[in-house]
Amino acid sequence: MNERKKYLVVVAGGRGLRMGAELPKQFLRIGERSVLHRTIDRFVTACPDIRVVTVMNPDYIDLWKDYCLGSGMVVPQTIVKGGMTRFHSVRNALAKVPDGALVAVHDGVRPFVSEKLIGDMFARAEDVPALVPVIPAVDTMRALSKTKDASGRETLESLDIQLDRSLLYAVQTPQIFRSEVLKAAYSQPYDPAFTDDASVVECSGVRLSFLQGERLNFKITTKEDLLLAQSIINLSK
pLDDT digits (tens, 9 = 90+) for 113-135: 999 999 999 999 999 999 999 99
Would you say residue 152 lies in a domain? no
pLDDT digits (tens, 9 = 90+) for 91-110: 999 999 999 999 999 999 99
Q: Where are the alpha helices (DSSP H) in 95-153?
A: 115-125
Number of domains in the chain: 1
Looking at the predicted structure, is the pLDDT value of residue 172 above 90? yes
Is residue 17 very low, low, confident or very high in pLDDT (cuts 50, 70, 90)? low
Looking at the predicted structure, is the pLDDT value of residue 208 above 90? yes
pLDDT digits (tens, 9 = 90+) for 47-67: 999 999 999 999 999 999 999
Would you say residue 1 lies in a domain? no
| Mean pLDDT, residues 6-15 taken together | 90
Would you say residue 162 lies in a domain? no
CA–CA distances in Å: residue 158 to residues 146, 151, 170, 200:
9, 19, 21, 29
| Mean pLDDT, residues 22-38 taken together | 92
Mean pLDDT, all residues of the chain: 94
| Mean pLDDT, residues 66-72 taken together | 93
Domain coverage including residue 224 = 6-130+171-236
CATH value at residue 25: 3.90.550.10
168 or 152, greater pLDDT: 168
Contact 63, 27 (CB under 8 A): yes
Of 236, 222, 175, 220, nearest to 201 by C-alpha is 175
Would you say residue 211 lies in a domain? yes
**Rounded to two decimals, what is the model's pTM?**
0.93
Would you say residue 47 lies in a domain? yes
| Mean pLDDT, residues 62-87 taken together | 94
pLDDT at 16: 56
In the chain, DSSP assigns E strands to 6-12, 29-30, 33-34, 51-56, 77-81, 102-107, 130-136, 144-148, 154-158, 169-171, 175-178, 209-212
